[in-house]
């Protein structure tokens, strides 16, 4: 199985920018780490692909997070996409229920700027729509960029998933003729479930199908994959932000502190001596 990647291209007439992605291994890894199932797993996978497409399109050098908050307090999904291509996610459900995407569900996109400030925007999920429709709405209202988006996650055998998507952006140079051609063509790409599920699916094949007959220039391909960037130093740094009383509580029983990363479930064991060192510096 080929590695996941994102491919960027632009039509030679300057009318469209196109980003296509294969995210099967990335999505499968994140879903397995979080133990997501059913419709929540599929929505989670689509959010991850959407966050990758958004980052590659709008902020390739910045960390991007997409947060989907279900209605009725049913929980939230988080997709976290790093400029290196490393991607992870988080499933937080209330009471073991499936995430409710009905009235009141919202999607929030955030990017961390070099200054540390977070730029963000939020839109409600369109009635009866999913991640694809929500991202199109977000790009139109929050970024003022007309974009066509489709993301898909299809369950396979043995807990694996096939996943991918595309984003087609209208550029200022677009003419009426090319716009009409692309609009008509994309009617056949509103759902890409079947294409993503094909054994030979790739960013290249999807790009060629989207731009069939349109001269285009391939710009750049970037690797993506499921990988968490947690480490013991970050865990200890987080513990160091606790109050003195909280640190004393952690030391009270003299046991090794066991902490698991929420994203990848990797376990860290912090010995009492290290906690004591933090307490002495607090």
Question: What is residue 81's predicted lDDT score, i.e. its pLDDT?
Answer: 97
**DSSP-assigned states of every residue in 153-194:** EEE-GGG-EEEEEEEEEE-TT--HHHHHHHHHHGGGGS--HH
83/97 Cα distance (integer angstroms): 33
Burial of 173-189, coded b for 16+ CB within 10 Å and e otherwise, reads: ebeeebeeebeebeeee
Q: What's this model's pTM, rounded to 2 decimal places?
A: 0.91
> What would the mean pLDDT of 118-125 be, rounded to a whole number?
92
- What percent of the chain stands above pLDDT 70? 99
Is pLDDT larger for residue 172 or for residue 50? 50
The mean pLDDT of the chain is: 91
Would the pLDDT of 15 be above 90? Answer: yes
279: burial class by Cβ within 10 Å (0-12, 13-18, 19+)? middle
Go through the domains of the chain in sequence order and give each one's CATH number: 5-226 (3.55.30.10), 232-281 (3.90.1280.10)
- pLDDT at residue number 35: 93
8 Å CB contact between 76 and 98: no
Nearest to 43 by CA among 83, 95, 86, 102: 102
Q: How far is CA 119 from CA 9, 67, 106, 198, in A?
A: 26, 13, 17, 37
Distance CA(184)–CA(81), nearest Å, equals 32
Task: Tell me the average pLDDT across 262-271.
Answer: 90
pLDDT 10s digits, 39-92: 999 999 999 999 999 999 999 999 999 999 998 888 999 999 999 999 999 999
CB 10 within 8 A of CB 18: yes
Q: What is the pLDDT of residue 1?
A: 58
**How does strand 118-124 pair with strand 16-22?**
unpaired
Contact between 27 and 49 under an 8 Å Cβ cutoff? The reply is yes
pLDDT value of position 275: 81
Nearest-angstrom CA–CA distance, 213 and 193: 23
Q: Is the pLDDT of residue 128 over 70?
A: yes
Residues 6+ apart with CB under 8 A from 60: 83, 222
* The pLDDT of residue 241: 85
Stated length of the chain: 282
Cβ atoms 75, 96 nearer than 8 A: no
Radius of gyration of the chain (CA): 21
Q: What is the pLDDT of residue 84?
A: 96
C-alpha to C-alpha distance for 70 and 67, rounded to whole angstroms: 10
End-to-end CA distance of the chain: 50
pLDDT over threshold 70, residue 282: no
* Structure confidence at residue 247 (pLDDT): 83
Instruction: Please state, as a whole number, how many other Cβ atoms lie within 10 Å of the Cβ of residue 22.
Output: 27
What is the pLDDT at residue 279? 77
Percent of the chain at pLDDT > 90 equals 63
């Amino acid at each position: 199985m080929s590695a996941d990647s994102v491919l960027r291209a632009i039509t030679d007439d300057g009318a469209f920018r196109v980003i296509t992605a294969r995210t099967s291994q990335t999505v499968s890894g994140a879903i397995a780490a979080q133990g997501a199932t059913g419709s929540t797993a599929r929505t989670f996978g689509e959010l991850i692909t959407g966050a990758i497409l958004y980052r590659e399109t709008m902020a390739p050098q910045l960390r991007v997070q997409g947060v989907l908050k279900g209605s009725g307090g049913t929980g939230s999904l988080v997709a976290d996409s790093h400029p290196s291509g490393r991607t992870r996610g988080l499933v937080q459900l209330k009471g073991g229920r499936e995430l409710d995407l009905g009235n009141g569900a919202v999607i929030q996109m955030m990017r961390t700027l070099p200054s540390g400030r977070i730029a963000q925007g939020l839109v409600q999920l369109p009635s009866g729509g999913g991640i694809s429709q929500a991202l199109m709405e977000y790009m139109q209202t929050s970024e003022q960029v007309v974009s066509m988006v489709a993301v898909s996650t299809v369950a396979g055998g043995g807990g694996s998933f096939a996943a991918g998507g595309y984003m087609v952006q209208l550029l200022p140079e677009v003419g009426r003729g090319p716009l009409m051609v692309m609009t008509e063509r994309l009617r056949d790409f509103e759902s890409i479930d079947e294409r993503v599920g094909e054994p030979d699916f790739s960013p290249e094949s999807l790009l060629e199908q989207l731009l069939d007959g349109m001269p285009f220039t391939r710009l750049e391909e970037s690797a993506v994959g499921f990988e968490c960037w947690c480490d013991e130093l970050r865990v200890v740094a987080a513990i160091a932000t606790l109050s003195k009383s909280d640190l004393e509580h952690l030391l009270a029983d003299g046991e090794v502190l066991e902490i698991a990363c929420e994203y990848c479930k990797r376990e860290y064991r912090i010995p009492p001596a290290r906690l004591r060192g933090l307490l002495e510096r607090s």
